[in-house]
Amino acid sequence: MYATSVAIFIVCFLTGTARSDPRNVPMAITTWTFKNATLRAWDVLSNNGSALDAIEQGVAVCECEQCDGTVGYGGSPDEDGETTLDALIMNGKTMNVGAVGGLRRVKNAISVARHVLEHTRHSFLVGDQATEFAVQMGFHEESLTTPDSKKMWMEWHNAKNCQPNFWFNVLPDPLKHCGPYSIPPKGGPVCPSTTCMPDTTTSTCQPPKVPVPPPCPAKKGFPCRARRRAAPRPARPAPPRCP
């Protein structure tokens, strides 16, 4: 339901040479003004910690402080009211990455990502399997919902009738109603999703909300190829079901 912003941390050593090179200038950079997180990363670096340690520790501060309400637990609840977390860590020397996506019920997403990097040959684990992995690695499983995220979700669901959301070409009309949604029945309005949207009250296809670009003018010598109306597509065959 909510777009998620991302905190990006970069830790680098300016000359790109050995750590012990006196010309080296270590730096910790963050995208937003997450001061405590940046200070933690800097602290790690100035105590001769590794770049990966600095990244992990800095991001972990943000995860606990719930920076901007979009990092860490209790932020950006999804359509079911659940907060899930994404994190990625890259080692610039080896270009190896470890990442988790849609991590459920574990607060320490960046540390789980680092475990993916250092204890598996995978790059990216997602959803419940990422949680299973985290639990095996000793992370604590707990709800990521807070009173604030619950309130945020209630407001979206009850007061705002699930607006905005990411659905289209489903019934009931997602611009007016909450789900659950389904595909419009055969024989009802069939609306090509990029040009029209079904309106459930009138059972017709309505123009999209975004303006359509104007047709290009004909040019001498370069006949304009007007955008051809797309031929109706054959019905998409249902994929075979796994036994």
Q: How far is the CB of 72 from ligand NAG (least distance, A)?
A: 11
Which region holds residue 117: left if phi is over 0, alpha if psi is between -120 and 50, else beta? alpha
Residue 36 in the binding site for ligand NAG (CB under 6 A): yes
- Tell me, what amino acid is at 176? K
User: Is residue 143 involved in binding ligand NAG (CB under 6 A)?
Assistant: no
Number of residues binding to ligand NAG, judged by CB under 6 A = 4
Count the Cβ atoms, other than its own, within 10 Å of residue 70. Answer: 16
Q: Which two tokens stand for residue 28?
A: 């910790």
Instruction: Give the pair of three-digit tokens for residue 236.
Output: 């998409």
Task: Work out how close the CB of 127 gets to ligand NAG at its nearest, in angstroms, rounded to a whole number.
Answer: 29
Alpha carbon distance 195, 46 (integer Å) = 56
Q: Does residue 65 bind ligand NAG (CB under 6 A)?
A: yes
Sole binder of ligand NAG in the list 3, 23, 48, 211 (CB under 6 A)? 48
List 33, 47, 201, 202, residue binding ligand NAG (CB under 6 A):
47
Task: Report the interhelical angle of 51-65 vs 109-119 (nearest 10°).
Answer: 150
Question: Residue 33, interface with ligand NAG (CB under 6 A)?
Answer: no
Give the SS3 label for residue 102: strand
Q: Which is nearer to ligand NAG, 36 or 50 (CB)?
A: 36
Residues that bind ligand NAG (CB under 6 A): 36, 47-48, 65
